[in-house]
Structure 1
Amino acid sequence: MNSLETRNLNKAFGKLVVADNVSLALPQGARHALIGPNGAGKTTLINLITGALRPDTGSVQLNGEDITSLLPDARVKRGLGRTFQINTLFPQLTPLESATMAICERDALSGHWLSPLAKHGAAIDEAYDLLGRVGLADAATKPTRDLAYGQQRLLEIALALASSPKVLLLDEPAAGVPKSESAALFEVIAGLPEDISVLFIEHDMNLVFSFATSITVLVQGAILTEGPPDQIAHDPQVREIYLGGAHHG
């Protein structure tokens, strides 16, 4: 059974087709890249999977369950986590506070968040452990606004992991991150537990080909081709349509 499947997803805004019969399958533990030129429909597909958009037709399956009609928060509770192109962090909070809040939300303790921190000892311990796993232990008590941008992206991943996802969707996790920090960011992603399936959008082909075990190429909302990195790298259509301009944004 696949961790995540989309079956014949279609979505249009008037005459603009943004998802054209997209069927995608992620086995457990997949490290799957979604690539394509700007406007290809990559973020739209992520939004359809997470429930931010509803498809016109087609379905989304998570661990064998049809989640097409579920709201985004219900999908999170069933094991679907995501990050966004632009970070959505609370700049005034510390990573430890943010991660503890996320864990309390997962455990339905968020209504008690205003009670003294000491009452959330187990959540705080788990949050600190989670930050350690993404390399943020030393920054746990700094205001988020003072973190380097690469560290902020790592915090986003930590917050997504706080929901205990089985599938993690990363929308351009290295966007805006200096190249000197992006390798470290992907080392953390590469070190995620093997039982978590990862679907990620990324424009840096060096990162894609060093990290992904499989790649799907989208063009104008439709799948052009998919396969292992070696196959995609040598596909003449891919090279012509996308890879030749990949380093120009």
Structure 2
Amino acid sequence: MSHREEYRQWPFVTDDEFALVCAFLDQRYIKARLGPTRQVFKIRSRWTATTGSCYIEIIRLLQLSEDQDELSLALQKLNGGREEPSEVDMEIDVENEDGDQEALRPDLENHKPGTTTYQIPSQCNPYLSLPYVVYEIHLHPTYRIPTLWFTLHDLPMSEPTFDLNSVYRYLVPEGYKSQLRDAGITGGISAAPHPITDVPSFFIHPCQTKEAMERFDCPMTDYLMVWLGLVGGCVGLWLPPEMAQENTNG
């Protein structure tokens, strides 16, 4: 049986189907054995209170620091001000919670329905910060295809965060620059008010994503993995390879 029969209209997704594929990606991240990568690469499933719609938030540290204090504070920022538990700690939590996947969430107490922004703890010294990027995956209301939004944060004072040159400097690999400027397979980089906050943000235009996705026949469990493989790399977003591995041990 074709996996496309799982969808109402492949490769488009309904609101319910999008919520489901978001949940599958979230679970892949929770279960993957990422080791130190989990400290600098975060995936969280989010919900908006106003519309009841879901989206995926991905946070990635753009550079590391040899200064251990600076690095430690930057990692705490991404983790809501607390140290990230190790993979061993997570495994112990699973045993104590009889396999409850929520026990694997180090940020659960900060995750409230309706939260639309990632809270940076005030105790972090603003002078000890490293640049990071926040990616978000939202369902486009017209194209009915996931859309990748992204914003830069904590760049050096001389570099504006909402600036296309900064995007190309920090996110776009050299091999993609000419393709994006020519509006390649994913439609190029566009700017618009963020779908939730209305703050000016960048996104990969989804106008040609349908044609790219039509070449595949993937189950819902892999939908966002395949989609990110098509659109993420042009702005420096690659999922850890461990997330592609089947892991039934949590």
Q: Same fold (TM over 0.5)?
A: no
Higher strand share: 1
Higher helix share: 1
